[in-house]
Amino acid sequence: MNILILTNYANGLYLFRKELIEAFRKDGHKVYVSVPKDENCHKLSKIGARLIYAPLDRHGLNPAKDFSLFLNYIGTIRKVKPKVVLTYTIKPNIYGASAAKLLRVPYICNVTGLGMAIEHGGLFSKVLMKLYAFSMNRAQRVFFQNEKNRAFMQKNGIAVKNSGMLPGSGVNTTEHPYREYPSEENGIRILAVLRVMKDKGIEEYFEAARAVSEAHPEVKFHLVGEYEEDERSKYEPMIRKLEDKGIMKYHGHLDTVEPVYADMHIVVHPSYHEGLTNVLLEAGACGRPVLGSDIPGCRETFIDGRTGFSFKPMDSGALIAAIERMLLLSADERRGMGLEGRNYIVENFDRNLVIEAYRKELSALKN
């Protein structure tokens, strides 16, 4: 069958769902991907996806542009004639799902997170909820990545009868094997992997790096992730200053973070909101103890007190306290937390669980 995937970012689809695309192709399906054109699109072509470029502005709120995107999706669906449409992220979940609904093509939505626009409430949030209600009420399945997001949407009358749960996008436990905990002889290395923007907790991470480094000179902080372009001018000077002082090393954007995880002792994720964080899944998979915001989408990925510690989000003091708590442990205790974390991830979050959930939905189409 022809499968059409609608998403807003090529690299995100490649990093977290390439195995799903490969599985579809192995099963004999043709996979088309509608995505904004950028420097990462060639990665999807290499794994056999057929690209269709979409005029999607990830951050814009222009009704005319969004209507143009909706019409583009209508045209793409008519051209590809898919047996099913899969949608990821807000605009594809709204405009792509609406297009599939109006053309009477089966579609499956994946709510990867609600985002601050909805969580902050207000008029714009109400508009989004109305759009979601229209777009998703005929979906074959609406997958959620944490129970709180599902409960919130269902409370607002969305996906009441057609919801499902996924373990996030899962983690490839082969590409992220257990890595032996590194020696602490030359100090302790702490890593954050996140998009450089306020909502990912970057400011709290900077504050924690400054405070902890002053109290513990043997602790060094690392950061992996690309800038959110709208916020680059604010955070780039801060990162340079931390690097100049020897507090932090910024690795920039990396397609493969696993070698960096392997060299770290602790992984921190101070995000304000998540669907289900891939960062903590990958960190746990390679056997690292984690520190994660006490929010839906983070807390599910580790066992608090056993494979990591949670802390209050948007609170640098709470993050600092969590780091200090981790530093009080011995190296053997940290190593043990990471090993238990690996076992927890393999049992509950292997990416094959996601692939099988989608295969089940495709099988239902044939019946």
Please choose, from the candidates 224, 223, 193, 195, the residue with its C-alpha nearest in 3D space to the C-alpha of residue 209: 223
What pairs with residue 32 in β-bridges? 4, 50
Q: Decide if 113 contacts 140 (C-beta within 8 A).
A: no
The rounded distance, in Å, linking the Cα atoms of 288 and 273 is: 22
Please choose, from the candidates 314, 214, 217, the residue with its C-alpha nearest in 3D space to the C-alpha of residue 272: 314
User: Mean pLDDT over residues 277-285, rounded?
Assistant: 95
**Confidence band of 229 (pLDDT split at 50, 70, 90):** confident
Q: Which domains does the chain carry?
A: 2-170+350-366 (3.40.50.2000), 188-348 (3.40.50.2000)
Which pLDDT score, from 0 to 100, does residue 25 have? 97
Q: Which residues of 329-340 are buried (b: 16+ CB within 10 A; e: fewer)?
A: eeeeebbbbbbb
pTM: 0.84
How many C-beta atoms lie closer than 10 Å to residue 365's C-beta? 12
Please choose, from the candidates 51, 54, 144, 50, the residue with its C-alpha nearest in 3D space to the C-alpha of residue 96: 54
**Confidence band of 119 (pLDDT split at 50, 70, 90):** low
Q: Decide if 34 contacts 76 (C-beta within 8 A).
A: yes
Please choose, from the candidates 271, 263, 319, 322, the residue with its C-alpha nearest in 3D space to the C-alpha of residue 287: 263
Which is more confidently placed, 21 or 114?
21
User: Mean pLDDT over residues 269-293, rounded?
Assistant: 95
User: Mean pLDDT over residues 39-56, rounded?
Assistant: 96
Which is more confidently placed, 31 or 114?
31
Q: Is the pLDDT of residue 115 over 80?
A: no
* Phi, psi (degrees; rounded to nearest 5) at 351: -60, -25
Which pLDDT score, from 0 to 100, does residue 351 have? 94
**Confidence band of 60 (pLDDT split at 50, 70, 90):** low
The rounded distance, in Å, linking the Cα atoms of 86 and 34 is: 10
Q: Decide if 191 contacts 251 (C-beta within 8 A).
A: no
Which pLDDT score, from 0 to 100, does residue 35 have? 97
